[in-house]
Amino acid sequence: VTPENLAQWIDAGCAGAGLGSDLYRAGQSVERTAQQAAAFVKAYREAVQ
């Protein structure tokens, strides 16, 4: 699941999603992880409006 396709999963009826390596990869900076987390939050909010 990515921020770009999260809405498709929600629209298909999924009640949850595994963020996995699109959220965090080993050695990734805190800043990058925060950016990805923010992108997922934004995507979720837009999908459930």
Residue 38 lies in a domain: yes
> How far is Cα 49 from Cα 27, in angstroms, rounded to an integer?
34
Q: Which domain holds residue 24?
A: 6-47
Residue 43 lies in a domain: yes
Number of domain units in the chain: 1
The predicted-structure confidence for 22-34, as pLDDT tens digits, reads as follows 999 999 999 999 9
- pLDDT category of residue 14 using cuts at 50, 70 and 90: very high
Average pLDDT, integer, range 11-31: 95
Average pLDDT, integer, range 26-48: 98
Residue 29 lies in a domain: yes
Three-state helix/strand/coil letters over the chain: CCCCCHHHHHHCCCCCCCCHHHHCCCCCCHHHHHHHHHHHHHHHHHHCC
